[in-house]
Amino acid sequence: MSDPRADQLRSGYATVAHAYREQLGNELAGKPLDRAFLDAFAERCAGGRIADIGCGPGHVTRYLAALGANVEGIDLSPEMIGEARAAHPQITFSVGDMFALPHESGALAGIVAFYAIVHLRSDELGPPFRELHRVLAAGGLAAVAFHAGTDTVHVDELFGCATSLDFMFHPPEAVIAALLEAGFTLEARLDREPYPGAEHPSRRTYLLARR
């Protein structure tokens, strides 16, 4: 990711990282379809190495680790990684960029990217998806979740903290097209309505793509 964009995101998350962990650290407890999707993903990865990209405070990473997965977390924001490490000292978390991952080609059996593409436009997904494709082994799986639609929601405040972040929704067909373009095969797609009171009231799409 270009330095100015990365810097903007890092400062946007620096102020909210702790509150994000407090607010969303247990959100999967109220999201049965997300858990079912992650259960199926972890089973398909069959004990191979998984990276949670854009892991934030690491609650998805923790869920996968509790299933017995060999999983690590990676995020652009040092503050998010600090929160993830504090909450889950037994899991490895590193600062990293999905545009240039630290992994060797073919190193991973699975990648989970929940809401990690939320700060990119739909027409910017090619480079990061090609990078996910590079680090996955043949047959490896990418599990990608995002807000479905065409909105961009700008926030100056999140969970009571001042910030400046743009959250971009994606038409599912555009994300699928970018995955196919990057060399993936689509295995599964789940669309769901928001869980009332548990999250921002947007439609969600979950894709499972195979390298």
The residues of the shown chain that bind ligand SAM, judged by CB under 6 A, are 1, 9, 13, 24, 53-56, 60, 75-77, 80, 97-99, 114-116, 118-119
Q: How far is the CB of 10 from ligand SAM (least distance, A)?
A: 7
Q: How far is the CB of 41 from ligand SAM (least distance, A)?
A: 14
Q: How far is the CB of 7 from ligand SAM (least distance, A)?
A: 12
Closest to ligand SAM by CB, 80 or 208 = 80
Q: How far is the CB of 73 from ligand SAM (least distance, A)?
A: 9
Q: Which residue is nearest to ligand SAM (CB)?
A: 56
Closest to ligand SAM by CB, 114 or 206 = 114
Q: How far is the CB of 193 from ligand SAM (least distance, A)?
A: 18
Instruction: Write the DSSP string, the chain.
Output: --HHHHHHHHHHHHTTHHHHHHHHTTGGGG-HHHHHHHHHHHHHHTT-EEEEET-TTSHHHHHHHHTT-EEEEEES-HHHHHHHHHH-TTS-EEE-BTTB-SSPTT-EEEEEEESTTTTS-GGG-HHHHHHHHHHEEEEEEEEEEEEBSS-EEEEEEETTEEEEEEEE-B-HHHHHHHHHHTT-EEEEEEEE---TTTS-S--EEEEEEE-
Closest to ligand SAM by CB, 14 or 185 = 14
Q: Which residues pair with 53 in a beta bridge?
A: 74
Closest to ligand SAM by CB, 184 or 206 = 206
Closest to ligand SAM by CB, 115 or 159 = 115
